[in-house]
Structure 1
Amino acid sequence: MQNLIPLLEKTFGYRSFRPGQQAIIEKIFEKKPVLGIMPTGGGKSICYQLPALALPGVTLVISPLIALMKDQVDSLQEMGIAAAYINSSLSQEQWQQRMQQARNGELKLLYVAPERLEAASFQQLLESLPIDLVAIDEAHCISQWGHDFRPSYLKIPELLQGLPASASVVALTATATPKVADDICQLLKIPAENRVQTGFARENLAFEVVKEQKDLYLQEYLKLNKGQAGIIYAATRKEVDRLFYILKDGGFSVGRYHGGLSEAERSSNQEAFLFDQRTVMIATNAFGMGINKSNVRFVIHDQIPGNLESYYQEAGRAGRDGLSSEAVLLFAPQDIQVQKFFIEQSQGTIAYQQQEYLKLREMEQYAHTQGCLQCYILHYFGEEAGDCGRCSNCLDQREQVEITLETQKILSCIKRMGERFGKGLVAQVLTGSKNQKVLQWHFETLPTYGLMKDWGQKELTQLIDYLTAEGYLIPSDGQFPTLKLANSGVEVLKGQRKVYRRQAQVRQLVADDALFERLRELRSDLAQQQKLPPYMIFSDKTLRELADKQPQNSLEFLAINGVGQNKLDKYGAVFIDLIQQSSQTE
């Protein structure tokens, strides 16, 4: 492994391995199949790209999206590494030429789409290649329990059987629950002891849930963080379009991306975002999986996603360069109905739909918890950790308000209703509604009827959601969950436990820095000349370190994280010149 450090430094500009990388690479060289579970931005690509340079043959990378492949290959070629991809965007002649390059030993990495594996003729072609390593990116796509199952991934085990025994296998993912991880290992025949999990925590990512006027919040947020790259996700095309026109009319630099636009418009908008010509992309979840843009400072969800796996993967597109970034969920109860509609329209089995309702409930409870947001996510992925100290709940220093009495009223009402109904009817009884169902069950005769008539039903259902998220109430499975008291809820009702609740403000992400902005401008100019996205030249993290350390010569420049020999040769002189000019004018 020590021999790989100089190669890591020279090629990628890093002087040491990140957590998990060394353990995974060691398994690869021991010819043991390995599953790597690392957070987005945790350095998964290095786990196969570095061995690919050290191994004599070719590394086959199975990757789910054309955009993702192109992005990776462009980045590798920019570092001087021989890489290519084969997918449906190529002509027959082009892909035959690339296969020939691989046979001749002219390529170190060859990216292919999983759909290619469905053709027996293509599998036969692969057998003619000197494959030393197979890397399966986004490995959760192989599991039917995952949030992004792709049937074409099920062809991978068959492919692996046809490869020489000397070929190593590495599967990588950022979003695998324990059940999904077990499924990946079973399908790819990876022993439990060959699972490397570094933890799902993102140390540089601050989570926040906001329950305020969404449009107003968004405009204030973008004003305060002007010039910072970000993604705003919405659940429907209609909402993407609505936000796009509101923010565009407000003078913000925005683009949009969804399946209702022409392919030309989608490509043009995506390119404008990647090349920093548009600061913010407003999109459905069709956007992002193939985007390796490292300087995304924030991801805002304007509507709640259907499950925590999707949320964490999409939120994780912020801060891939390791700098402080934010993931904000704008929550409104009515958005839950959009996701329920998607589940109903999914054509899945009853068991599948029940599973999706369960996942949606976990996502909704995330929006209501007042515990650490990152802890909530980590618990979902089977990991326990202390409070992150960064999320909106951890940072909320305001005095907590005691709501024990209000909680007792709610719990008492649920108990008196026989613990057989959902939050909507409970709220109607407490607010004194004369709804037909309330009267039908004679709930107007209960002592708790109208006990909270000063509350709005929406406000009250949000409080019930909070109590559920905090574990005082237990919802049943299914689309319309009924509520039962948990043991902690019984303690509150008996006066043995008190309940507290706290509420969100817009924060500026990055402090102004004149030299950093000049370095960004230079990077942008160089990117335009070379027709490359700016982050492929240097990440924001590298620019921040340049602004901080201000290297004055090649040796000092090479010591900056993210600067390899190839990047020094290409860009060192112009960046050092700008830094020297800047120090002279200060």
Structure 2
Amino acid sequence: ILKVFGKQPCLFQIRVCRVQLEQRNVISIAPTGSGKTLSYLMTLAFSTDLIIIIVTALNVLGDQFVREAETAGFHAIFVHAENDNDKTFTDIRQLNYWVVVMTPGVFNAIFDEGHCIVQWGDTFRQEYSEVPNLSICLSSATMPPSMVSALVEKFRFGKNYTLFHRSNDRVNIAYSVVKTQDEASCKLDWKEGDPVPPKFMVFFDSKKEAEAASRYLASRVSLALCDKMLWFHAGMTAFF
């Protein structure tokens, strides 16, 4: 792994990788920056016919996965709106990539000649019999027990999974919760004439709410500051 990826894996990464190579499901919980990506990319170093499909919700992470795979010598592609075309999917079907990164809206599993899974699975092409057992790796830095239980149920893992959980405790990071008296009146209350605040970021649970908040703030400030109020979410194109 050190020779291929230029990094020495830790015991946590080795264990996660080993379980995946055994074709078992994995739930991996570890802090941001602790090397979760390497734990599943390093499986490529142990199999010449392995293809990894990564589903990510963030475009910036898709580009990161591709860079890390390409740096290690594994041809990779991030499928997005700009390259979502026949050539891209033809290249994927022809197995030209070791790593294929997609967003949830693009990912769709299709088995051509699906009857072969039954007719050939036990005889001619035994690999077909393993289709229902394709291993899945769910990785995150924030996954409380309730979330783990929900994922196990959604993916129908039953007891067929291995959980790896590293602590997120950081000595240099602390949480601070400030309870507001009236959420409706204190949110987005900046208006023209108020001192210009430093750069800030507001998080929302929905794209529509983020866009509405940006427009609302833009309507409350001077024209010179309107273009400073921007929204950013997964529904945007590379141009906007």
**TM-score bucket of the superposed structures, by smaller chain:** 0.5 to 0.7
The residue correspondences of 1:570-581 to structure 2 (distance < 5 A) are none
Q: Does 1:40 align with 2:32?
A: yes
Q: Does 1:124 align with 2:117?
A: no
- Measured in 2, the distance between the counterparts of 1:13 and 1:232 equals 35
Query: Is contact 2:29-2:140 (8 Å) kept?
Result: yes
Query: Is contact 2:24-2:161 (8 Å) kept?
Result: no
- Measured in 1, the distance between the counterparts of 2:31 and 2:150 equals 19
Query: Is contact 1:84-1:107 (8 Å) kept?
Result: yes
Match of 2:173 in 1: 205
Q: Any stretches of 5+ residues in structure 1 without a counterpart? A: 1-6, 128-160, 223-230, 269-586
SS across alignment from 1:171: strand
Q: Does 1:68 align with 2:61?
A: yes
Query: Is contact 2:56-2:101 (8 Å) kept?
Result: yes
- Measured in 1, the distance between the counterparts of 2:197 and 2:176 equals 13
Q: Does 1:55 align with 2:22?
A: no
SS across alignment from 2:136: strand
Q: Does 1:90 align with 2:63?
A: no
Q: 2:83 corresponds to which letter in structure 1?
A: L
Q: Any stretches of 5+ residues in structure 2 without a counterpart? A: 115-127, 180-189, 205-212
Match of 2:131 in 1: 164
Q: CA deviation at 1:209?
A: 5.6
Query: Is contact 2:69-2:99 (8 Å) kept?
Result: no
Structure 1 residues 174 and 164, CA, compared in 2 at 3 Å: closer, same or farther? same
Q: Does 1:28 align with 2:20?
A: yes
The residue correspondences of 1:232-311 to structure 2 (distance < 5 A) are 232-233=201-202, 235=204, 236-238=213-215, 241=218, 257-258=230-231, 263=236, 267=239
Structure 1 residues 16 and 125, CA, compared in 2 at 3 Å: closer, same or farther? same
Q: 2:25 corresponds to which letter in structure 1?
A: P
Query: Is contact 1:60-1:109 (8 Å) kept?
Result: yes
Q: CA deviation at 1:39?
A: 2.6
Q: CA deviation at 1:255?
A: 6.1
The residue correspondences of 1:534-553 to structure 2 (distance < 5 A) are none
The residue correspondences of 1:351-430 to structure 2 (distance < 5 A) are none
Identical pairs, percent: 15
Query: Is contact 1:86-1:113 (8 Å) kept?
Result: yes
| CA RMSD of superposed structures (Å) | 4.2
Q: CA deviation at 1:71?
A: 3.8
The TM-score with structure 1 as length reference comes to 0.29
Q: 1:25 corresponds to which letter in structure 2?
A: C
- Measured in 1, the distance between the counterparts of 2:24 and 2:231 equals 41
- Measured in 1, the distance between the counterparts of 2:3 and 2:73 equals 11
Q: Does 1:184 align with 2:151?
A: yes
- Measured in 1, the distance between the counterparts of 2:74 and 2:136 equals 21
- Measured in 1, the distance between the counterparts of 2:222 and 2:5 equals 41
Query: Is contact 2:26-2:162 (8 Å) kept?
Result: yes
Q: C-alpha deviations, 1:386-407, integer Å up to 9, x for none? A: xxxxxxxxxxxxxxxxxxxxxx
Match of 1:175 in 2: 142
Query: Is contact 2:32-2:141 (8 Å) kept?
Result: yes
- Measured in 2, the distance between the counterparts of 1:240 and 1:171 equals 37
How many residues end up aligned between the 2 structures?
Answer: 203
Match of 1:297 in 2: none
Q: CA deviation at 1:109?
A: 1.0
- Measured in 2, the distance between the counterparts of 1:52 and 1:41 equals 21
Query: Is contact 1:85-1:112 (8 Å) kept?
Result: yes
Query: Is contact 1:244-1:255 (8 Å) kept?
Result: no
- Measured in 1, the distance between the counterparts of 2:52 and 2:44 equals 6
- Measured in 2, the distance between the counterparts of 1:244 and 1:13 equals 50
